[in-house]
């Protein structure tokens, strides 16, 4: 068992100044980590250092500072490549985040898909993993098929196998569900899809903060993630694509940085990764993303996963003591996310009351309306934990939820 003392949570918490502020007169308890995680001082320092001493445009400058900025952004690419064990650094593309990565792939596949081709997604997906494929299907005449879910909030794998046909070109699933926390059996999904000749894109937005992801071992064709859920800044993320796939796809946006030769008649494109990085990139964001990954690795993702599992178990047991409370997403294989409702109380009302006590949770449909439709509920209260949270915070949270229940019922 990894206790708070062994991980030295107090020392870790000191890296996050926001955790010592008060909200509505109470010490902040931040349980909205699945939406955006907090940023440690080390990452903020990297941002300040960049703007104070190295701010310059990259890749084109002959002067010293431009070369420093170029080295720093390319070093961040190397950190990401190593962290996710990609085969080549050229396979890592900087994006604005998960949503942009998905749109980049959907745009690329619009040049590949034929009328009647099929894409499989799951009913567990975030809206950003549903809408781009619906638009792609409208554009190309391709067909969208959906893996259903079970009451526990798991993918129905027997149904999944039956969705394949010789027209299946792409399978797209979240590695971890943001609304329910379910960790999907992605290795099995990838193996099945490859047997049928389909490519696989995984949405790693909720997996990457919590677990080690080895892209070569997984054998995913594409993988996307957002830095702001990994203790980094907003507006930056990454797309991984196998080199052969990225070479096949057309550019997503056009402009500077992504070209090789331009004449007024015709242009040729830069090699990977720059073919997909048109315009001045989010240089500082990328550097800070690399620093966030260094920070996580200093604690160790295995330690993080073990400690968060303990928090999840503790919070689940404590919440279940509340009469009338129902947890949605009960898979044994789950990340540190708890979605729940209490009898007929509206999640928004519970969230608003506990906010007055300094507790930040998310309420609503969590950009997953199909999941809410499946359970026939308007939304849930979602508490999502990070390695800087503590059991004492969970105790205070449970107390606050009980108080909200008493006030509202
Ligand atoms: N996919 C999942 C599973 C998410 O949880 C989120 C954000 O909550 C997204 C995609 C979209 O991420 P972003 O807004 O960083 O692009």
Residues with active-site annotation: 367
All structural domains of the chain, each given as residue ranges with its CATH number in brackets, are 4-40+301-404 (3.90.1150.10), 44-298 (3.40.640.10)
Please tell me the residue having the least CA distance from ligand 1 atom 8. Answer: 35
What pairs with residue 26 in β-bridges? Answer: 23
Quote the ligand 1 centre to 128 CA distance (angstroms). Answer: 7
Please tell me the residue having the least CA distance from ligand 1 atom 12. Answer: 98
Of 318, 378, 372, 401, nearest to 178 by C-alpha is: 372
Weakest mean pLDDT among 16-20, 356-360, 367-371: 367-371
Atom of ligand 1 nearest to the CA of 367: 8
**Ligand 1 binding pocket mutation candidate from 186, 201, 206 (most atoms within 8 A of CB):** 206
What pLDDT score does 2 carry? 64
**pLDDT beyond 90 at 76:** yes
Of 397, 338, 349, nearest to 34 by C-alpha is: 338
Mean pLDDT, to the nearest integer, of 82-97? 98
Q: Is residue 57 classed exposed, middle or buried when 0-12, 13-18 and 19+ CB atoms within 10 A define those classes?
A: middle
Q: Is residue 129 classed exposed, middle or buried when 0-12, 13-18 and 19+ CB atoms within 10 A define those classes?
A: buried
pLDDT tens, 77-88?
999 999 999 999
Of 170, 79, 84, nearest to 119 by C-alpha is: 170
Quote the ligand 1 centre to 126 CA distance (angstroms). Answer: 7
Atom of ligand 1 nearest to the CA of 177: 3
Extract the tokens encoding 344. 């007929």
Is residue 273 reached through a cis peptide bond, with omega within 30 degrees of 0 on the bond before it?
A: yes
What pLDDT score does 1 carry? 61
Atom of ligand 1 nearest to the CA of 96: 16
Percent of the chain surpassing pLDDT 90 = 93
Rounded distance between C-alpha atoms, residue 30 and residue 9, angstroms: 15
Enter the DSSP assignment of 192: H
Mean pLDDT, to the nearest integer, of 320-330? 98
What pLDDT score does 6 carry? 80
pLDDT tens, 122-143?
999 999 889 999 999 999 999 9
Q: Which helix (H) or strand (E) holds 245?
A: helix 243-248
What pLDDT score does 128 carry? 87
Output the ligand 1 site: residues, CB below 6 A. 35, 97-99, 126, 128-129, 174, 178, 203, 205-206, 226
What pLDDT score does 86 carry? 98
Quote the ligand 1 centre to 105 CA distance (angstroms). Answer: 15
């Amino acid at each position: 068992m990894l206790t708070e003392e062994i991980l030295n949570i107090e020392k870790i918490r000191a890296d996050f100044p926001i955790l010592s502020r008060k909200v509505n007169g109470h010490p902040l308890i931040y349980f909205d980590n699945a939406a955006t995680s907090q940023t440690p001082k080390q990452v903020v320092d990297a941002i300040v250092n960049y703007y104070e001493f190295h701010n310059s445009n990259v890749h084109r400058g002959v002067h010293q500072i431009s070369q420093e900025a170029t080295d720093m952004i390319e070093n961040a690419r190397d950190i990401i490549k190593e962290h996710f064990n990609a085969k080549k650094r050229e396979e890592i593309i900087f994006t604005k985040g998960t949503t942009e990565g998905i749109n980049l792939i959907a745009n690329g596949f619009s040049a590949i898909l034929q009328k009647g081709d099929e894409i499989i997604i799951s009913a567990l997906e975030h809206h950003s993993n549903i809408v781009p494929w619906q638009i792609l299907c409208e554009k190309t005449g391709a067909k969208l098929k959906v893996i259903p879910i079970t009451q526990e909030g798991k993918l129905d794998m027997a149904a999944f196998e039956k969705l394949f046909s010789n027209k299946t070109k792409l399978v797209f699933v979240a590695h971890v569900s943001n609304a329910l926390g379910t960790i999907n059996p992605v290795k099995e999904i990838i193996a099945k899809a490859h047997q049928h000749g389909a490519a696989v894109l995984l949405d790693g937005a909720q997996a990457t903060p919590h677990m080690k992801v080895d892209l070569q071992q997984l054998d995913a064709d594409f993988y996307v993630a957002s830095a702001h859920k990994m203790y980094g800044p907003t507006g930056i993320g990454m797309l991984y694509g196998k080199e052969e796939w990225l070479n096949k796809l057309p550019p997503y946006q056009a402009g500077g940085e992504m070209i090789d030769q331009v004449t007024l008649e015709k242009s040729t494109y830069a090699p990977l990764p720059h073919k997909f990085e048109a315009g001045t990139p989010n240089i500082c964001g990328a550097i800070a993303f690399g620093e966030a990954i260094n920070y996580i690795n200093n604690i160790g993702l295995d330690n993080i996963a073990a400690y968060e599992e303990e928090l999840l178990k503790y919070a689940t047991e404590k919440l279940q003591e509340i009469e009338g409370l129902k947890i949605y997403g009960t898979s044994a294989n789950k990340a540190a996310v708890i979605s729940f409702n209490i009898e007929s109380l509206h999640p928004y009302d519970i969230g608003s009351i506990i906010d007055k006590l300094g507790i930040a949770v998310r309420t609503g449909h969590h950009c997953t309306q199909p999941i809410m439709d499946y359970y026939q509920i308007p939304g849930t209260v979602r508490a999502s934990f990070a390695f800087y949270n503590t059991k004492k915070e969970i105790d205070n949270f449970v107390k606050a939820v009980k108080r909200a229940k008493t006030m509202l019922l």
